[in-house]
Amino acid sequence: MALRALCLMACAALAQMASAAEIRVGHALSHDSHVGHALVKAAERISADSGGRLVLKQIGNGAAGNDQKLMQDAIDGNIEIFISSTSTIVPVYKPLAILDTPFLFAHREEAHALLDGKIGKDLLAGVSAGGLVGLSFWELGFRNLTNNVRPVTHLSDLKGIKLRTMPTELAINTFKRLGADAQPLPFPQLRPALESGAFDGQENPLPTIVSANLHQVQKYLTISKHLYGIYGVMASKKWWDTLSKADRTIIGNALAEARLFQRAESQRATDEALKIIKDAGVKVSELEIGERLLIERRLERVVAPIAQEAGFNLWVSMADELGRIRSKSK
């Protein structure tokens, strides 16, 4: 009887293993990043809630391809989930462009409130038109400026600084409008370019600046918070439509819950990076009072096409919602 019981238990375990469904999540970060850590949490929750039937497997470090490839693979049904900057997803769902607006958020709490509210939910729902399913918004973080010329505390301080930006028309136009000599450059080439003096400065989230050792070849950091980067956690609609309602709930809840852990980890990484930068002797400053308003006015021509691309009604709704969020925080 004991032998028979053991056989039955072994058969049940083998049956469970055979029926386990693997959910692949592709992203460009390391498994030791805030995104990687959050996915471990999500995997644990999914496994527990499904009785081990669903297995979340992350494929990090760009091993499954760059963001554009991951997105196309998801649309084609060749990967289940991917995580990338929302900027990557704009070509398949233009209203997401609104999240690329420079100086849109003053604080990360504003961003969280907007993204977790009706506007964020509507944006996630809208990507289904492009063959994706929006599951959650995670935090990439605020981008900030570094350079070797001077402290940037006023708009005029940017004039003539040769600044490496992201290779997007919006990023280049934004900093050119602000007076910098803005030019794109592949990220792997950035540190040598700063070290040699080919470029004066760059802009990135603080953890990225530290992980690439850019602070070792820069003298000044400005906490400009000129753009709040957002990760979109997106699923393949082709795959999602094959799931039961129960499995959709398990996966969706786990990834939505993991966003809170991921955001906390992102902030922890940002705080640690700022300390490392200061300890390295980099002079840290912020924009002077009133400069943010001057910059926003200077960028009106740059922002106008974003409003047009995203849709005027969405733009007005976002402005109204941000107004309500800010009034509550006072």
Residues 232-287: pLDDT tens digits? 999 999 999 999 999 999 999 999 999 999 999 999 999 999 999 999 999 999 99
Task: Read off the pLDDT band of 330 (50, 70, 90).
Answer: confident
* Residue 60: inside a domain: yes
Q: Which of 27-31, 159-163, 197-201 has the lowest mean pLDDT?
A: 27-31
Percentage of residues in the chain with pLDDT exceeding 90?
A: 90
At 7 the pLDDT is 46
* Residue 2: inside a domain: no
Nearest residue to 162 via CA among 220, 202, 190, 204: 202
Residue type, 146: T
Assigned token pair, 111:
């961003």
- Residue 17 scores a pLDDT above 90: no
Percentage of residues in the chain with pLDDT exceeding 70?
A: 94
Assigned token pair, 295:
């910059």
* Residue 9: inside a domain: no
Number of compact structural domains in the chain: 1
Measure the CA angle with vertex 269, ends 272 and 209; round to 5°.
80
- Residue 8 scores a pLDDT above 70: no
Average pLDDT of 200-223?
96
Q: Which residues of the chain form beta strands (DSSP E)?
A: 21-26, 54-59, 81-85, 132-147, 162-165, 181-184, 201-205, 220-236, 283-286
Mean pLDDT of the chain: 93
Task: Read off the pLDDT band of 4 (50, 70, 90).
Answer: low
* Residue 7: inside a domain: no
Rank 207-211, 234-238, 312-316 by mean pLDDT and report only the highest: 234-238
At 16 the pLDDT is 41
* Residue 234: inside a domain: yes
* Residue 10: inside a domain: no
User: 116: buried, middle or exposed (CB in 10 Å: 19+, 13-18, 0-12)?
Assistant: middle
CA distance 172 to 19: 50
CA distance 250 to 238: 18
At 14 the pLDDT is 39
Task: Read off the pLDDT band of 47 (50, 70, 90).
Answer: very high
CA distance 34 to 28: 12
At 180 the pLDDT is 98
At 167 the pLDDT is 86
* Residue 8: inside a domain: no
Average pLDDT of 32-52?
97
Q: Could you tell me the CATH number of the domain that includes residue 309? A: 3.40.190.170
Average pLDDT of 92-104?
95
* Residue 55: inside a domain: yes
Q: Containing domain of residue 109, as a range?
A: 19-329
At 18 the pLDDT is 37
pTM: 0.89
